[in-house]
Amino acid sequence: MDTGKYVFGVNDTLQALDMGAVETLICWENLDITRYRLKNPATGEEKLLHLRPDQEKNKNHFTDPAVGFVL
């Protein structure tokens, strides 16, 4: 069934792909996005990140803000 809905952006698109809700995907070459699945060993909480190369350099993305623990 075609609902006529669409999404933009990396996070929304990947979420729709994970749910199996994508019928047609339009993408482009050289999409420099890396997917990280981080797990906090203390709490077991998982976090998904989709980062560009310039964002990967920011260590705040890989640190638990509550306690300053590196994931």
* 53 — pLDDT class (breaks 50, 70, 90): very high
* 37 — pLDDT class (breaks 50, 70, 90): very high
- Partner residues linked to 46 by β-bridges: 39
Backbone angles phi, psi at 47, to 5 degrees: -140, 130
Question: Rounded distance, CA 13 to CA 4, Å?
Answer: 15
Spell out the SS3 assignment of 2-32: CCCCCCCCHHHHHHHHHHCCCCCCCCCCCCC
> How many C-beta neighbours within 10 Å does residue 55 have?
13
The model's pLDDT over 54-67, given as tens digits with 9 standing for 90+, comes to 999 998 888 887 77
**Is this structure's pTM higher than 0.75?**
no
The model's pLDDT over 1-31, given as tens digits with 9 standing for 90+, comes to 677 888 988 889 988 999 999 989 888 778 8
| Mean pLDDT for the stretch of residues 45-55 | 91
